[in-house]
């Protein structure tokens, strides 16, 4: 694996119109690395830093179904870097979990309230062994993660030029908010007339969800506050990983009509939320871009659950 090779831009496809809006989807699930997605984009920047610092071990944190942990474990295996993953106990099985083990990551379980202590102990233990460990925050949070999606805005602007249009709205599944922070920074960097970047929360509630995004934007840019952060917590359906029939129906509908797999935890929840938002806010005749942030292994978890 060579991280210095540039990755090609992911495609943007037009889907069916919805309530008079032109809906497009950016297929970041096709980012060509470990089933793609936003975690793959972020991980590339983290591993470039790992190579630069000549680290020989990587430590990160995530839930059992974490896309982030799967991508980190895959890149670590490819680059022959030791990988230690800390997860809360009682984690359910998932394809992402299975892949982490397959890639040879060392999986460490601990009680939820011992996570940060366990991270510290693991880093200290590795250093004591003479290793040079690198810590990646859960979900790829932090400036490098934000940068990944600041840069994606150049891909989006290129597509706008080719198609001769401008996306009025960008929708995405928002978790730690790093991806949304990057899209806000990039849109403002490039546009005189900033578009609306709407994060559909997959778990967090207001005001915290929006506050964390604001902090990410400030930390990344070092000055100035963005206008308003649009973080919608109305469609979380009971919290992280919880989904209802409307979300399952959306996943089936988008798969059948467009051949695009969504998952119930992130993209299916957000796509369903986007449709409801457009309807409830009476958005009409706009160009709308949905960022498909990946998570394909969770689509297969969903298939098993709904069998
Ligand atoms: C992690 C994840 C998100 C959320 O990204 P954040 O940057 O944490 O907000 C969205 N979609 C998928 C598929 C993810 O794995």
For 79-104, write each residue's pLDDT tens digit.
999 999 999 987 678 999 999 999 99
Residues 148 and 238 in one domain: yes
What spacing in Å lies between the alpha carbon of 38 and ligand 1's midpoint? 6
Residues 110 and 241 in one domain: no
Among 33, 67, 140, which residue has the most ligand 1 atoms within 8 Å of its CB, making it the best to mutate? 67
Q: Which of 140, 164, 184 is the C-terminal boundary of a domain?
A: 140
Structural contact between residues 42 and 136, judged by C-beta atoms closer than 8 angstroms: no
pLDDT of residue 5: 87
Grade residue 192 by pLDDT with cuts at 50, 70 and 90: low
Assign residue 157 a region: left if phi > 0, alpha if psi is -120 to 50, beta otherwise? alpha
* 293 close to ligand 1 (CB < 6 Angstrom): yes
Asked whether residue 157 carries a pLDDT value surpassing 80, the answer given is yes
Residues 274 and 166 in one domain: yes
Residues 211 and 70 in one domain: no
Look at residue 212 and tell me if it is in a domain: yes
- CA-CA distances (angstroms) from residue 77 to 1, 36, 185? 10, 16, 32
Q: Residue 218 is part of which domain span?
A: 12-36+142-306
Grade residue 165 by pLDDT with cuts at 50, 70 and 90: very high
Asked whether residue 50 carries a pLDDT value surpassing 90, the answer given is yes
pLDDT of residue 228: 83
Residues 234 and 290 in one domain: yes
Residues 49 and 84 in one domain: yes
Residues 203 and 224 in one domain: yes
Residues 295 and 205 in one domain: yes
Closest CA to 230 of 156, 285, 174: 174
pLDDT of residue 146: 98
The CATH number of whichever domain residue 87 belongs to comes to 3.40.50.1100
Asked whether residue 227 carries a pLDDT value surpassing 90, the answer given is no
Phi, psi at 200, each rounded to 5° = -95, 115
Look at residue 7 and tell me if it is in a domain: no
User: How many domains, in total, are found in the chain?
Assistant: 2
Residues 188 and 59 in one domain: no
Look at residue 1 and tell me if it is in a domain: no
What spacing in Å lies between the alpha carbon of 217 and ligand 1's midpoint? 16
Look at residue 165 and tell me if it is in a domain: yes
Q: Which of 106, 140, 174 is the C-terminal boundary of a domain?
A: 140
Residues 101 and 128 in one domain: yes
CA 142/CA 149 separation, integer angstroms: 12
What spacing in Å lies between the alpha carbon of 231 and ligand 1's midpoint? 14
Mean pLDDT, residues 156-176: 97
Residues 95 and 154 in one domain: no
CA 111/CA 125 separation, integer angstroms: 19
Look at residue 158 and tell me if it is in a domain: yes
CA 251/CA 89 separation, integer angstroms: 29
In terms of DSSP bridges, do strands 12-14 and 22-27 run parallel, antiparallel, or are they unpaired? antiparallel
Query: How many whole angstroms from its chain centre is CA 282?
Result: 27
Residues 189 and 282 in one domain: yes
Q: Name the CA radius of gyration of the chain, rounded.
A: 19
Q: Which residues make Cβ contacts (< 8 Å) with residue 96, sequence separation at least 6?
A: 64, 65, 66, 67, 69, 70, 297, 298
Structural contact between residues 61 and 85, judged by C-beta atoms closer than 8 angstroms: yes
Task: Identify each DSSP E strand in the chain by its residue range.
Answer: 12-14, 22-27, 57-61, 82-88, 106-110, 133-136, 169-174, 196-201, 230-232, 287-292
Q: Which of 140, 174, 207 is the C-terminal boundary of a domain?
A: 140
Asked whether residue 126 carries a pLDDT value surpassing 90, the answer given is yes
Look at residue 4 and tell me if it is in a domain: no
What spacing in Å lies between the alpha carbon of 183 and ligand 1's midpoint? 13
């Amino acid at each position: 694996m060579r991280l210095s090779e540039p990755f090609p831009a992911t495609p943007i496809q037009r889907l069916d119109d919805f309530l008079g809006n032109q809906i497009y989807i950016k297929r970041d699930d096709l980012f060509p690395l470990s089933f793609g997605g936003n975690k793959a984009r972020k991980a590339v920047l983290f591993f470039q830093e790992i190579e630069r610092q000549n680290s020989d071990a990587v430590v990160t944190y995530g839930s059992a179904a974490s896309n982030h942990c799967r991508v980190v474990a895959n890149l670590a295996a490819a680059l022959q870097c030791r990988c230690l993953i800390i997860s809360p106990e009682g984690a359910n099985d998932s394809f992402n979990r299975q892949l982490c083990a397959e890639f040879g990551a060392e999986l460490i379980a601990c009680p939820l309230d011992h996570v940060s202590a366990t991270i510290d102990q693991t880093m200290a233990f590795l250093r004591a062994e003479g290793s040079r460990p690198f810590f990646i925050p859960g979900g790829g949070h932090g400036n490098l993660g934000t940068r990944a999606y600041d840069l994606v805005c150049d891909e989006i602007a290129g597509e706008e030029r080719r198609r001769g249009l401008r996306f009025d709205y960008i929708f995405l599944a928002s978790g730690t908010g790093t991806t949304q922070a990057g899209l806000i920074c990039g849109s403002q960097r490039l546009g005189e007339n900033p578009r609306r970047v709407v994060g559909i929360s997959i778990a967090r509630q207001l005001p915290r969800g929006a506050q964390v995004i604001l902090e990410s934007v400030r930390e990344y840019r070092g000055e100035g506050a963005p206008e308003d952060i649009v973080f919608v917590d109305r469609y979380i359906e009971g919290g992280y990983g919880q989904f209802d029939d409307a979300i399952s129906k959306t996943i089936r509908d988008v798969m059948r009509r467009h051949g695009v797999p969504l998952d119930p935890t992130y993209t299916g929840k957000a796509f369903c939320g986007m449709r409801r938002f457009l309807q409830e806010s009476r958005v009409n005749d706009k160009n709308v871009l949905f960022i498909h942030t990946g998570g394909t292994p969770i689509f297969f978890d969903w298939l098993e659950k709904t069998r």
